[in-house]
Amino acid sequence: MNQGLAVRNLDVDRGGLRICRDVSLTVRPGQVSVLLGANGAGKSSLLDGITGVVATSKGTIELDGQPLHNRRRPHRARMGLSYVEQGRAVFSQLSVEENILIVGGPQGARDAFELFPRLAERRSLSAGLLSGGEQQMLLVARAMAMKPKVLLLDELSLGLAPVIVQTLLATVRKLADEGLAVLLVEQFAALALAIGDSAYVLNRGQIVFNGSCEQLKADPAVLEAAYLSV
Ligand SMILES: Nc1ncnc2c1ncn2[C@@H]1O[C@H](COP(=O)(O)OP(=O)(O)OP(=O)(O)O)[C@@H](O)[C@H]1O
């Protein structure tokens, strides 16, 4: 059975600086784990460390009980980690359909269009002509075409209207309900907590809250403290 992602005591260094310190978190199949924190708290760096964009020297990362921390990024991806990086772009010259076909083949395209009917309607359009929200849908569809066990999403909402974000997050929830483990970094904290199960708050590279989304919603002081203290 898919045991999801387990990160233990992970440090992430960048440019000689320790950005994340002693981070432990779990992301279970069927659940959305929400990672919140102020700008510069280290959220993207943590996802980069987990997925192998940045090498880590201390701590462990396990997917489905298998150690990943000594593996390079492509291996982690093949093992089932799919990452939609912040600000990642679609292949704008290719059609929507081609964007998915090159990753997931015909089955990937069928699955993607079922997940996002809006993309099906625009399948022949150059991906660069999609709206911001549609481009994010395409990035999620491409990530899902890898058939991941764990999906890591970094600020899908960047530059999008809340109503579009809500639609995207509803799909993220649906994917988790179908068994996917999701780690969601999101600036719209209330929207993320509304669809999430567990929550982590990162402050200056350290986890300062680990509990359920319900608990965090009931105790907004935790979030306010983290957002104010940078
Ligand atoms: N390539 C890099 N080299 C050196 N320092 C970096 C690098 N990337 C990020 N940092 C630093 O790491 C810290 C954390 O940045 P990071 O982008 O991980 O935070 P974040 O929580 O994702 O912020 P945001 O919400 O603004 O995206 C910042 O102080 C940033 O300047």
Distance 225 CA to ligand 1 centre (A): 19
Rounded distance between C-alpha atoms, residue 123 and residue 97, angstroms: 5
Does residue 201 surpass a pLDDT of 60? yes
Q: Which of 43, 153, 154, 204 to mutate to test the pocket of ligand 1 (most atoms within 8 A of CB)?
A: 43
**Where does the pLDDT of residue 229 fall: very low under 50, low under 70, confident under 90, or very high at 90 and above?**
low
Give the tens place of pLDDT for each residue, 151-176: 999 999 888 888 889 899 999 999 99
**Where does the pLDDT of residue 230 fall: very low under 50, low under 70, confident under 90, or very high at 90 and above?**
low
- Alpha helices per DSSP H over the chain: 43-51, 73-79, 96-115, 117-121, 132-144, 162-177, 189-195, 213-218, 220-228
Instruction: Enumerate residues lining ligand 1, CB below 6 A.
Output: 14-15, 19, 37, 39-45
Q: Please count the residues of the chain.
A: 230
Could you tell me the domains of the chain?
5-90+132-228 (3.40.50.300)
> Which position has the higher pLDDT, 27 or 160?
27
- The percentage of residues in the chain with a pLDDT greater than 70, rounded to a whole number, is 98
Give the tens place of pLDDT for each residue, 115-157: 999 999 999 999 999 999 999 999 999 999 999 999 999 999 8
**CA neighbor of 124 nearest in space, from 113, 133, 139:** 113
Does residue 78 surpass a pLDDT of 80? yes
> What is the DSSP secondary structure assignment for residue 126, as one 8-state letter?
B
- pTM for the complete prediction? 0.94
Q: Residue 27: helix, strand or coil by DSSP?
A: strand
φ, ψ dihedrals at 102, nearest 5°: -70, -20
**CA neighbor of 53 nearest in space, from 31, 21, 83, 18:** 83
| pLDDT (average), residues 19-26 | 97
